[in-house]
Amino acid sequence: MSGKKGQQAMEWYAESKGWTKITTIGHPFANGIDGIFWDPAESKYIFLEAKETIGKGNYEKKLSKGASYGDQMSDDWLRHHVDELYKNGLDSQTYRELKDSIDSGTAKKQVVIYRTSGFSGRTITKGFADDLNNIGPLDKSKINDVIIIGSGG
């Protein structure tokens, strides 16, 4: 199923960094934050978005823009989805810590892209940034890093 490999790559990446999973969405096509992790080395929450390539620089789904609660991965968007997690059972201490990390700017935001083709990471990152132009690795208020994981193809 497309999207699932991107989700799995995101979880593998977080695990390889030694991060503790706070929550992930269960389904690769569900709306919301794909993964929230705790980085004990930096004492920071990490918000991850998973993507998967389906060809040269193309993505199954780009970051969305223009939602009433903000562009995907913006602070407003994250706050909205953290509120939704709280309404659906996230404990109050974690909820407060997540909101504080967003409000203080200490939360880290990353996009993990699973590359299913043989195209270079540079092509993917450039295409990602060019297509979104205000949501990319150069706009540190939205995304801190784009990580590309290859399938070896």
The rounded distance, in Å, linking the Cα atoms of 127 and 78 is 24
The answer to whether the CB of 135 falls within 8 A of the CB of 65 is yes
Specify if 131 maps to a domain: yes
pTM value surpassing 0.85:
no
The domain tally of the chain equals 1
Specify if 75 maps to a domain: no
pLDDT tens, N- to C-terminus, the chain (153 residues): 236 777 888 888 899 999 999 986 655 556 788 899 999 999 999 999 887 776 554 444 556 666 777 778 889 999 999 999 999 899 999 999 999 999 999 999 988 877 666 555 444 444 454 444 444 343 444 566 666 666 544
Query: What is the extent of the structural domain holding 42?
Result: 4-65+107-150
Specify if 96 maps to a domain: no
CA proximity to 83, closest of 66, 103, 59, 65: 103
